[in-house]
């Protein structure tokens, strides 16, 4: 998780969302390309970062 996913999770819960913890929100952020979790030595990291 990250501070951003925790904050978004809390905000969504205030708005009435259920079952949206920081881990779920972080996974969503990964799927949307908002987080680049490729290892530093991974050849895809630079490609993803430049996209």
Domain ranges in the chain? Answer: 3-50
Rounded to 5 degrees, φ, ψ at 32 are -85, -5
pTM for the predicted model, two decimal places:
0.74
pLDDT computed for residue 22 by the predictor: 96
C-alpha separations of 44 from 13, 26, 37, 48 in Å: 34, 20, 10, 6
Torsion of CA 1, 29, 5, 16, to 10 degrees: -130
What average pLDDT does range 14-21 have in this prediction?
Answer: 95
Confidence check: pLDDT of 11 > 80: yes
Confidence check: pLDDT of 2 > 80: yes
Q: How confident is the model at residue 26 (pLDDT cuts 50, 70, 90)?
A: very high
């Amino acid at each position: 998780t990250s501070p951003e996913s925790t904050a978004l999770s809390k905000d969504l819960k205030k708005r009435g969302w259920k079952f949206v913890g920081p881990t779920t929100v972080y996974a969503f952020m990964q799927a949307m390309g908002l987080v680049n979790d490729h290892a530093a030595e991974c050849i895809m990291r630079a490609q993803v970062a430049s996209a």
